[in-house]
Amino acid sequence: MVVGEIAEQVDLLVVGGGPGGYVAALRAAELGREVVVVERHGAEGLGGCCLHVGCVPSKALIELAHAVDGLGRMRDAGLEADGARANLATWQVHKQRLVAELAAGVASLFKRAGVRTIRGELRFNKPDRAAVLLPDGNAQFLEFKQAILATGSRPSVLPGLAPDGERILDSTGALALDAVPRSVAVVGAGYIGLELGMALRKLGASVTVVEATDRILPTVDAALTRPVRKALDAHGIELRLGALALGVDGPDLVIREGDAEARVPAERTIVAVGRRPNTDELGLAQLGVAVDEAGLIPVDERRLANERIAAIGDVVAGPALAHKASAEGRVAAEALCGLPVAFEPEAIPAIVFTDPEVASVGLTEAQAREAGLDVAVAQAPLSVLARAATMGARDGFTKLVVDRAADRVVGVHIVGPHASELIAEGALAVEMMASPDDLAGTIHPHPTLSEGLHEAALHLPAVAPA
Ligand SMILES: Cc1cc2nc3c(=O)[nH]c(=O)nc-3n(C[C@H](O)[C@H](O)[C@H](O)COP(=O)(O)OP(=O)(O)OC[C@H]3O[C@@H](n4cnc5c(N)ncnc54)[C@H](O)[C@@H]3O)c2cc1C
């Protein structure tokens, strides 16, 4: 290791070891490049936000909550398991173990591929140089040929509600809880807020969700959110829509509804109001790389900000999702290796892991109509599926959006149990430009939830002969 003013020569530098950065690094190494990844949290931090404080821990918490809640759900089916409780302190140990195992998996892939990780905070100080602040306070200087920026994002902070690790938490703090609070106020009814709120409610907290707009999941097609809204009511989660969170006072969160102030009981307040890209402290101006007003880095279809610098994941436009970051990572690595590639997916699936789950890929009916397509839709309710009945699941549906003129599936939307797993078939259909007949003619196994998509395709209104 070179410490001091002399810069170490680096072939391809990747900044950030999240699902964007580590996938890019592995692909570039596969293509013969010498890759160095600088990650603030070192090899233990590989996997980034998604593995350590995002996708993985949140889904682990949801699994626990679902297991506890599922016991009650099966009471009518004969299950006697009263008094089951979750111990969040034990869960924390379990979560740390599984996160560490998965991070070690990425580290071993790096080892095999010859990718080196440097632990430290990177900042660019010249068009081809960066300084890495090491944990011991020293700086290590790197001179690189090309770089991929994959520094991800961090939670947005609301005025008056800056996280303090105690009363006011962001999603990271919420996932570090080692006991279920008596009362929780969740600020923000987006996917992160609702996933956390619902899980904590199932684990025994009383939960109020405070949302500034007049609906939950503002970025999701309204029709898809109705079964979720019903489930929130059934679980006794209080929704305060059109309400602004102002700050905590004593045991409460203070909110404003219209002209009136109100109080919501909140031993803990979880603020989940979006995320900001980590682009402000990177010294991007030194690279000649600009950001837009949202702090995002403009890139071309190869994910290049200029001929030597690529940017991927949460620091560029598009859905802030792990699988999108990874897909961009492959493209960016290949582009910097001179391959003719472009990031042009037909659609990127998006999931809300509430109960029921909401999963979408491609155009919604409204978007397809706005685009002027000759739209046909078909919907299969969960109630027609025998498998759903065995699970006690009734609220949900599969919706297919078709462009009749092109005879193409352009959107698939699923609300119900395991929608997160089922949507991959929809993603394949949209990406492969499948026709509704392709889906209808594919034999789906019985009894499964996958029959929802088959049913929807079978019941699509007949295409008028040309
Ligand atoms: C609670 C929660 C739940 C989520 N659930 C899902 C989900 O279910 N599915 C899904 O697809 N997405 C989910 N996401 C979003 C997902 O985590 C992100 O979209 C994804 O992690 C982005 O990947 P990335 O590689 O761009 O950045 P990140 O994963 O954020 O990784 C960036 C890395 O860069 C490092 N870094 C930053 N700046 C520097 C620097 N200057 N020097 C060195 N290192 C630096 C950071 O330490 C970090 O490890 C969730 C997010 C949250 C918060």
* pLDDT tens digits for range 163-180: 999 999 999 999 999 999
> Can you give the pLDDT at residue 83?
81
**Strand, coil or helix: 35:** strand
Which strands sit side by side in the sheet containing 260-265, from one edge to the other?
Answer: 243-249, 252-257, 260-265
Structure confidence at residue 405 as a pLDDT band (50, 70, 90)? very high
Of 447, 439, 442, give the one whose Cα is nearest residue 409: 439
> Can you give the pLDDT at residue 460?
87
Structure confidence at residue 1 as a pLDDT band (50, 70, 90)? very low
* pLDDT tens digits for range 263-305: 999 999 999 999 999 999 999 999 999 999 999 999 999 999 9
For residue 344, what are its two tokens? 């042009």
- Residue nearest atom 33 of ligand 1, based on CA coordinates: 16
- Residue nearest atom 52 of ligand 1, based on CA coordinates: 54
For residue 341, what are its two tokens? 């590639």
Ligand 1: residues whose CB is within 6 Å?
Answer: 15-21, 38-41, 45, 48-50, 54-55, 58, 121-122, 150-153, 171, 192, 278, 282, 313-314, 320-323, 325, 353
Report the pLDDT averaged over residues 445-459.
97
Rounded-to-integer distance, Cα 324 and Cα 238, Å = 33
Rounded-to-integer distance, Cα 420 and Cα 426, Å = 11
Report the pLDDT averaged over residues 223-245.
97
For residue 94, what are its two tokens? 């379990």
Asked if 213 and 256 touch (Cβ cutoff 8 Å), the reply is no
> Can you give the pLDDT at residue 72?
84
For residue 36, what are its two tokens? 């160095």
> Can you give the pLDDT at residue 219?
86
Mutation probe of ligand 1 site: the residue of 10, 44, 50 with most atoms within 8 A of C-beta: 50
> Can you give the pLDDT at residue 2?
45
> Can you give the pLDDT at residue 465?
44
Amino acid at 62: I
**Strand, coil or helix: 262:** strand
Rounded-to-integer distance, Cα 28 and Cα 22, Å = 10
**Does 76 have pLDDT greater than 90?**
no
Minimum mean pLDDT range among 149-158, 207-216, 457-466: 457-466
Mutation probe of ligand 1 site: the residue of 55, 62, 289 with most atoms within 8 A of C-beta: 55
Structure confidence at residue 73 as a pLDDT band (50, 70, 90)? confident
> Can you give the pLDDT at residue 4?
52
| Cβ-defined contacts of 217-220 (< 8 Å, 24+) | 217/189, 217/190, 217/191, 217/352, 217/358, 218/189, 218/190, 219/190, 220/191, 220/352, 220/358, 220/360
Question: Which atom of ligand 1 has the smallest separation from the CA of 16?
Answer: 34
pLDDT over 90 for what percent of the chain? 93
Sign of the C-alpha dihedral computed for residues 363, 299, 15 and 278 taken in this order: negative
Mutation probe of ligand 1 site: the residue of 151, 157, 169, 348 with most atoms within 8 A of C-beta: 151
Distance 462 CA to ligand 1 centre (A): 44
Question: Which atom of ligand 1 has the smallest separation from the CA of 41?
Answer: 47
* pLDDT tens digits for range 320-378: 999 999 999 999 999 999 999 999 999 999 999 999 999 999 999 999 999 999 999 99
Amino acid at 346: E
Q: Which residues are catalytic?
A: 446
Question: Which atom of ligand 1 has the smallest separation from the CA of 174?
Answer: 1
Q: Which residues contact 132 (CB under 8 A, 6 or more apart)?
A: 38, 118, 120, 121, 122, 139, 140, 141, 142
Residue 288 phi, psi (nearest 5):
75, 25
